Amino acid sequence: MKINSWSRGYLRGAAGAILCAGVAVMWTSHASGQDAESRAVEGQPAAAQPAAAAQPAPAAAPAAAPARAAAAAEAQVSFPIKPAKGNVTNGQAERTNAADIDNWRLHGRTYDSQRFSPLTQINKANVKKLRPVALIQTGVAESMEGTPLVIDGVMYVETARDVVQAYDAVTGELFWSYTPVLEKSEVCCGPQARGVAVSEGKVFVAQLDGHVVALDAKTGKVIWKTVNSELLPAPTHWYPFTSAPQVHDGLVLIGNTGAEWPTRGFFAALDENTGKLVWRFWLTAGPDDPNFKGAWEGESWKIGGGSVWDAASIDTKNDLAIFAVGNPNPDLYGENRKGNNLYTNSIVALHIKTGQLAWYYQEVPHDVWDFDAASPVLLFDTLDAKGKKVPAAAEANKNGRVYIVNRLTGEFIRQSDAFGLQIKDTYMVPPGPVAAVYAPGNHGGPMWQPPSYSPQTHYFYTLGSNQANIYKVKPMTPWVPGSPEVGIQYGNLPATPDERKALASQIPPPSGYLVALNADTGKIAWQYDSKYMMFGGVLTTASGLLFTGEPSGNFLAFDAKSGKNLWSYNLGIGVCTPPITYRVKGVQYVAVGAAGCHYLENQMKNEGRAVFGDTIAIFALPGR
């Protein structure tokens, strides 16, 4: 039997999986728990503010030392099979080179996070011929939410539990694998990880246990590792990282998750050569912040939460890091944190060199619905109300709206039409002591899944979920720092069996969608509906294509302008990983993870489907 290139790639990927699976026993487990028709909702724009919220690094924090790197090596297992080939430097000049269309160097391909590729070899006429040419088995059978990076033919992958691997981006051959032995950490929503960053020959991974680690891009060996007591507030195990780090101008930029515990979230910059803290911006405005008045009642800012679920975008021209901030703490119950609860549920822009606030825009003040701003912020130019083209930043909120603001000032430009399931009687109505059905629920609307923007269509594309919840407020006593630790802070009292029975007819089965919104008008252009909640992400290309996946196992291609489904390939398990495209030696490839979908475990079991897998599929046209 002739072994074709697809088979050879598959066998090489499988061999790599055996090595990875051999160290799987060293992972540590993490706690899991709860994550939470059209009515206009306006946020609160703010002009540029002088910010006292940025905090300098502690004076006593030492630079990373060889001893620290050695200690880091003891807490991980690394399998260098062979050095990664090619130029894996990925320096600042390479990351900002607009002429480079071959690579996927950053979380959103480019610093604007548009997830739009100029490649055109795969187009609307030939996409039906697309076929897998290599399959990679990572050895980690868990939902894969990380965006792979491809740099000069080397693919860098982060799976759940922070396993980082380097592969040949054409054949699937494994170069090296890094598996951390994770320390104690409280993680609300599964052992998820959303990707790595690469700069100056180093791969940066922000781990579930609060450590940020720099690996050698060629070998996977540890170069430096942060010390939790120097970087994180206490108790440090309430401050995990699940978002992908961003790199720019010598800095590693990262924000913590953990707002489900009584924490004070932050966004920080680390020196990429040492891991030393350069500056920190607190995600809850304190008394030294000019925006503190009206933000928090009493001392609730000290435990007010705020999470960063995805990588920051960078406006390189104006030296701004722009990112979204998630929910306040506690979820749903807001009586102990009266005020607008800045900077939760906001788009925030910081000056990269100093960490000082440039502007903010709060999408949902005083959130009591778990309407995180959780997805990446996209940067593009759009038309304002007067028809003038202006620089913009946009974010898809869990409440079923995309908010578009001026990315230089934070001033409100527009919000999109409402999309997804929204129950009129309760939408944006604070929950009370009587059980009622709310939609979107805490897993509804767009969540972490990265959207895409096409400068050709001027459409903003996002995935989302139709999911309703029963909310019934549970009064909570504020946690006092220094007192015994508490669990997840979730102000929802479970409905009684009688309440659930009475409300059952108001709760439709969960489903999902892909929606295309005209960014210049906010109007819905087209929508694809799925019987499944849709996670993963969206990719658009200059050939007018859009790629995404769904939990059915289908990897899909659409006409980005019309929404017509042009192609589908079933990978046998849920496709909830952001797809990417790249070119090696003149050949365009599309890659996507097929590993199952977090939050859909029970539905998959009930349908007799596999729940989790570990595959990354690489596609190309025949003869390429």
What residues are labeled active site?
A: 370
Give CA–CA dist 409/360, Å, rounded.
8
CB 305 within 8 A of CB 259: yes
Torsion sign over Cα 15, 19, 20, 22: positive
Residues 6 or more apart from 70 whose CB is under 8 A from it?
none
Would you state the structure tokens that stand for residue 519, as one six-digit string? 């960014």
Give the C-alpha distances (Å, rounded to integers) separating 69 from 63, 65, 66, 74: 11, 7, 5, 9
Tokens of 504: 């059952």
DSSP 48: -
The secondary structure element, H or E, covering residue 26 is none
Cα angle at 71 between 66 and 74, to 5 degrees? 135
| DSSP category for residue 307 | -
Rounded CA gap, 353 and 148, in Å?
27
d(C-alpha 128, C-alpha 222), whole Å:
43
Pairing of strands 76-80, 459-466: unpaired
CA distance 106 to 117: 12
Scan for tokens 């007010």, then name that residue.
304
Q: DSSP letter at 490?
A: B
* Cβ(408)–Cβ(391) below 8 Å: yes
Burial 163-195 (b: 16+ CB within 10 A, else e): bbbbbbbbbbbbbbbbbbebeebbbbbbbbbbb
Cα separation, 551 vs 424, in Å, equals 28
